[in-house]
Every structure is written in C-alpha cells, then in structure tokens.
A and B are shown apart, each in its own frame.
Chain A
Amino acid sequence: MRPILEVENLSISFLQYDRGARRRVLPAIRRLDLTLEAGQVAAVVGSSGSGKSLLAHGILGILPYNARMEGTLRYRGEPLTPQRAAALRGREIVLVPQSVGYLDPLMKVGPQVARDREKGRGVLGRYGLGPETGDLYPFELSGGMARRVLISTAVAASPALVVADEPTPGLDARAAGRILGHFRELAQGGAAVLLITHDLELALTIAHKVAVFYAGETVEEAPAADFARREDLRHPYTRALWDALPQHGFTPIPGTQPYPGAIPAGCPFAPRCPKRQADCGGAIPYQTVAGGRVRCLHPERGEGS
C-alpha cells in the first residue's frame, strides 16, 4: 500500500539575526526520515525542546516566515507543496495542538470545534463531553477536558492524517492512556496518526512504529515490537533511551544533547556514545537493518552483536 506520508531527508532551519546584521542559519531539524501508512500510529520520540514540533508545522505548511524547509515531503505519493498543504490542512491533514493555548481565549469552545453547531455537539459528545462544554471558554476547561476538546477539533474534519503534537503533558497516566486510546481509535478508523512526543513509554502503548529523534536527526526507525527486547534495537541512543525507561531501571544517559548550531561534524551522538570509533566523525549513512533503519556506522544490531 502506498504510504500516506513520506518524509525524506527533511531539514528545517531558521535565519537568525545576531547583534547587528550578521545572519546565521540555525538548523533545528537536519535529517528527518519517516514513512507513515494509513491505519498506522507512528511516534516521533525525542527529548523536549529538540525541535520536534517543527516537523508538525512543516507538514502543515505553517512554519514561521524566517524558516526554511528542504528535503522531500510526500503526501499520498505526491509532493506536499506549500500550496497543496494549504489546501489540505484542516480537511485531510489536521493538527492536534499541545495545549488550550492554541484555542482563541475569547471564543467559546463550541464554534472553535466546528462552525456548524450540531456537528460540534456531535463531535464533543463522541468524546464524552456534554453540549454545555460548547458554551465554555477555553480557560474554563480542565486539563483532561481540554485534551478531548483539542482532539474534537481534529475529528470535526474527516482527516486522513492526524498530527498530534505532545498530546498528553500534564495528565496522569490513566488520563493520558485514555487520550492515547482516542488516537488509536482514529487509526483503527483508517487515519494515519503521527504522534510527536518526548514520552517513549507512553508512545509505545499505542504506536506501531517509533522514530527516534536526536539532535535534529532521526537516528532510528523501528517497529514498536523491537522495543520489547534491548537486543532488537539498533542505535546506541535508542538503547540508552530504553535503559532510561522506568521498568528498565531508570538508568540516565550521561551528557546532554548538543544545541542546534553547535552540533559536531559526523555523528551528533558521538560525544556520548559508548561504541564510538575513529570513523564516527565522518559521513553517517542511513541504512536498513533488520526491518528498521538506523543512522549509525556501527549499529548494535546486525553486526552480530
């Protein structure tokens, strides 16, 4: 089947003006690859503040004016040009934003979910929200309600691609699980769901596929099933993330991610990598290993490790 969304070698950078008129280009995303099929939930997992949200904005064609996007974006096999994105967003491609801050604070919830009153009520009802919710202002919503309202805004259209940006922060595990359940339902209904999150553990509860994002690159794309066993993971960073999961002992990764603009040549993970070798300072290919892909010269899996 043809994938709904294909992202190849995508980069998004910002033009910044330093003191005076010196321009500098700040790469927020440098090499991002991902394929997503209908009925699938794919998670892009990376630490907070690593520029993952920009992927969502890039797909929807709503990047700020000083951002530059390069690489390939294909939707249903055709290039997703800015014009095409503008025509599709809000209809076939929808965004579920991070917080109620993305709702107009002075407009009641109802008209923001759907302009058509009846339709809005129907969608809210689907998520267990009564018709009175439509008469509330965004600041009157509780955390869990807000999440469901935000999902409602997406479902008011009939989306083929749902991009969810960090949909569960501030919720307890049970509430978060319920919200993620709604996304799984959307995928079961035939939509492709792109889940952008920092929470690997939660992502694994619904994702079919996980793309690990580090310092502006996808370092590994793996079927979610591979996360059951450490040995099945390919990239040293993915293994480190695995080790940091609560059920595997919370082992933290030493060091910090490099800032965009201060990323070392070669493999960006090299300064923290236990497997680092002399050639890691050179070009790193994105290779297919055992049904997944990995950006590493010496992957943990596939070399008989």
Chain B
Amino acid sequence: MGHRIQFAAKKLLRMALLLLGVSLTAFLLMSASPLDPLQTNVGQAALGTMSQEQIARLEDYWGVNDPPLERYLGWLSSALRGDLGTSLLYRVPVVRVLGERMGSSLWLMAAAWVLSGLLGLTLGVLAGACRGRWPDRLIRGWCILISSTPAFWLALLLLMVFSVWMGIFPIGLSVPIGAEAAAVTLADRLRHAFLPALTLSITGVAGIALHTREKLCGVLESDYVLFARARGESAPSIVLRHGLRNVALPAITLQFASISELIGGSVLVEQVFSYPGLGQAAVTAGLGGDLPLLLGITVLTAALVFGGNLCADLLYGAVDPKIRRGAARR
C-alpha cells in the first residue's frame, strides 16, 4: 500500500510541474507572437477611426501593455484558485467555454479513439499473423500511405467526396445551421460528428496497426512461440493464445499514448469541418490573442494527455503479472 501512495504522490507532483511548464511555454510563445490582438480583433480600419482613449481602453482590455511576467503571475495565482479568467473573445468565463467545447470534442475524440484502437489492433494482428504474405503487404502499404497523408488533407478529401459530391453528410458545424438548440436531435449530432470522427480514426489506425504488427512479429519469433509450435499448436491457436496475450500490454500503452496525437489531429480536423470543438477554439484563441482561453485549453489538453499516460501506467501494473505479483509480494 505504501508504495502505491508514493507512486500516486510522485505522479501528481510530476503532473503539477508539467502543467506549470506547459502553461509557461504557451504564455511565452503567445507573448512573442507577432500578431497584434487589437489589429486582429478590432481591425485596422476601425482602429483608425477610434480616439486615443478608446484605443487605450482596448489595449487595457487585451493586456497589451502589461509586463509579461506580471500577466503570467496574475493568471497563475487565479488559476491556482480555480479561476481560469474570462475569455477575451467570447466574453464568458474560460471554464464555460472549455466545458462547452469539450462536450462536442469529447464525443468526436472518444469515437475516434475507440474506433482507431479496435481497427488498428485488428489490422495489426492480421498483418502480423500473415507477415510477408499479401494481406500483410496490403495492410502495411495502406498504413504507410495513410500515415504520410496530412490529416487536414484527408479531411478535405472526405468532405469533398461525402458532403459536396454525394451530399450524404453536412459540410460542417456540429448542429444544423439555424436550428434551435432544443430542436437538435441526437441523429443530427451524430451526422455532423461522423466525418470528423472518421478522419481522426483513419489517421489514428495507421500508427496503431503498424506498431501492433511489429510487436506481434516479435512475439511470433520468440522462443515461447517456437516451443508452442514444437508442441504441435496450430498457427491460429498460437496467435490467439500467445500472440494476443503478449501484444495486449504494449497495445494498451500505445492506445493511451495516442491521445496526444488525437488531440493534435483534432485541431486540424475541427478546423476543416468548422466543428466547434476544443481544437477549433485553440486555433481561434491562438490567432485572436485570447490569452486566458489559450492557456486554459493548453492546460486542459496537457492534463488529458497526462491522464491518458497515467491510465496506461496503472493498467500496465494491473495487467502485467510481473508488476502485479511483484508488488503484491513486497
């Protein structure tokens, strides 16, 4: 029990340091950004017609003249108290923006995560089991093609084929244009989330399938598989009894580590589909100089990624008998 608490404490400390570092980096990058929030958000023409006082007030609002260190410390001290500030662009508390955006993004990412995990594992195992033969070559070729395709390009392609040419799916947004919030059905939401989720899964599958295949090939060349063959086990039985078992552990780690890629991918994909999720908000906040919102998003996604890796660690301990039994004996 003692070492478990120690483990948790260590992890929490690391998480705190990580979030601190990430928020500081995001802040520094933002301060170094050549974009002038006033010009971007108010517009050159409008600025020209304003009086000095008005401009000064705006500058005050966007925090242009405050010393960076002071701004960051100010943000940090309120963030520690749970207040992430108010979004400068949306004029509502950052926490609320995060909550709303997270709601739509979460479905998207969860669907893509599950789909790419299952599909990637299946394809990887299939390729590994048939290594060197045509199913393997086909799957590998496809994966390499996909992983060298940029996510946004794939998104555009799907958008063109399914929405523009075939008209099966909507072109963008998460709900029908102009519909009242109450009138939006679950089917509407699913229809809108389908293409972005598909894009994200397709790009996610490649990495997981290729990794799983490598792992399975390694397992199939191991001494214990050789011995299983020596004992007359058939090839399918070897893959099912020994292959899956030994591929499961690395697959879990990979699956949780893929969360970071998923978030990265969602930024581009949401942008293409104008899907109002976290990723799109990140782009808007970054380009619009909305410092509190950007910091909020950064911290939230970093925490998500960290949480994913933590889950992988914990699960690993629960699944791997070496760790599980080793810990029990201590």
Chain A residues at the B interface, C-beta cutoff of 8 Å: 57, 60, 62, 86, 89-91, 94-95, 97, 99, 101-107, 137, 139-140, 153
Contact = CB atoms under 8 A, between A and B. Distances in A.
B319 to A, nearest CB: 9
A105 B224 contact: yes
Given A101-B223, A101-B224, A103-B224, A89 B322 contact: no
Q: 7 closest pairs, A vs B, by CB?
A: A90-B232, A90-B231, A102-B227, A95-B230, A137-B321, A104-B224, A102-B223
B196 to A, nearest CB: 37
B105 to A, nearest CB: 36
A89 B245 CA distance: 24
B325 interface: yes
Given A89-B231, A94-B230, A95-B231, 7 more contacts: A57-B226, A60-B229, A62-B229, A86-B232, A102-B223, A137-B322, A139-B321
Interface of B: 223-224, 226-233, 241-242, 245-246, 249, 320-322, 325
17 contacts: A57-B230, A62-B226, A86-B232, A90-B230, A90-B231, A95-B230, A97-B223, A97-B230, A99-B223, A104-B228, A104-B241, A105-B246, A105-B322, A106-B246, A106-B249, A106-B320, A107-B242
B26 to A, nearest CB: 41
A268 B241 CA distance: 45
B252 to A, nearest CB: 13
Contacts of A97: 223, 227, 230
A284 to B, nearest CB: 33
Contact of B242 (A104, A137, A153): A104
Contacts of A137: 321-322, 325
A91 B320 CA distance: 31
B234 to A, nearest CB: 9
Contacts of A102: 223-224, 226-227
B283 to A, nearest CB: 44
A228 B233 CA distance: 43
